[in-house]
Amino acid sequence: MTEQQTEAPVLVHVEGRAGHLVLNRPRALNALTHPMVRILDATLAAWAQDPDIDTVVLSGAGERGLCAGGDIRTMHDDARDGDGTATEEFWRDEYRLNARIARSPKPYVAIMDGIVMGGGVGVSAHGGVRVVTERSRVAMPETGIGFVPDVGGTYLLSRAPGELGTHLALTGGSVGAADALLCGLADHVVPSRRLAALRADLASVPATEAVRRHAVEPDAGVLAQARAWIDHCYAADTVEEIVRRLTDSGEPSAKEAAETILAKSPTSVKVTLEAVRRARERGSLEAVLEQEYRVSCVALRRPDMVEGVRAQIVDKDRTPRWSPGTLEEVTAETVAEFFAPRGDGRELTFD
């Protein structure tokens, strides 16, 4: 590769029959920008028609992870200082990319090594062959920054067994390899030391066979043994009742989950619960992405997103001042506003 190519935000190259896409912002943990989304989308569209490409492989540069999510600092600045148009356009293209990945006519192998969060889940967990390692930490942590899971995250979490997805959505908690498989966020575990050999095999071997050569059984996870209290507590109709059940369950982990939820944006956790419940009833990923687009555009203009990113990313004081500050102050009418139609020309639609 030339020096200019190695400085590109997405490295695009072909090895044998495999086309490789490498997210290349390692100092930003490969956070997605709008130009990166456009490169990914255009390349996938071209490779779908290329008879010389059998398999698409997504990975991240550096040792820390595939992708920590979207570039939320840019979104914060747009929400605080701009009119939000740039962020809405980014989401429109990003969510369409998520749908393209899910409908890829060729095997799409996502190497979900290290940190995979938010937008990183969107470009990986909708793929047909999703590989995690012993280093993987997969999460949709949006409620902690005053936002709501997007990029098809509510679609994925709504289809996890029982109420596991609700638990992960509200708490923003991360999972390792075994629990990623259990929740339907990944398919195979490959030790990180074998990833280079896997990439080499993908050049000439069909994706399913190549992964099978290197896959192993994961170490034990933690969510399977917690299903009883998770399924009971998160089946409640409201966040207030979920928190009450978690607190009263007698399980230390459940009480910790309650405290975690109470530290998140009250508006975000209430909207997230509604979004996951509604996602269960929507038939396709595209229908859920259309819903998420409405929710995201409203969240962008509410105070909690700017405040959450300020507290976690900008000032890093970890003491967000949510508005409103309690669950009880977030009304059903407020939640409903996030799902209201936006009008012609302002919705996300799929052809």
Question: Which is catalytic among the residues 60, 69, 70, 165?
Answer: 70
Question: Which is catalytic among the residues 119, 152, 153, 165?
Answer: 119
Residue 119 appears among annotated catalytic residues: yes
Tell me how far apart the alpha carbons of residues 47 and 55 are, in angstroms, rounded to a whole number: 9
Residue 163 appears among annotated catalytic residues: no
The structure tokens 């071997």 sit at 205
Question: Which is catalytic among the residues 150, 179, 286, 307?
Answer: 150
Tell me how far apart the alpha carbons of residues 30 and 322 are, in angstroms, rounded to a whole number: 28
φ, ψ of residue 348 in degrees (nearest 5):
-90, 130
Tell me how far apart the alpha carbons of residues 95 and 117 are, in angstroms, rounded to a whole number: 15
Residue 219 appears among annotated catalytic residues: no
| Beta-carbon count within 10 A of 189 CB | 22
Contact 23, 65 (CB under 8 A): no
Strands (E) located in the chain = 10-15, 18-23, 55-60, 65-67, 108-112, 115-117, 129-132, 137-139, 188-189
DSSP code for 51: T
Question: Which is catalytic among the residues 54, 78, 94, 142?
Answer: 142
| Beta-carbon count within 10 A of 196 CB | 9
DSSP code for 340: S
Sign of CA dihedral 241, 223, 159, 290: positive
Residue 69 appears among annotated catalytic residues: no
Catalytic residues: 70, 119, 142, 150
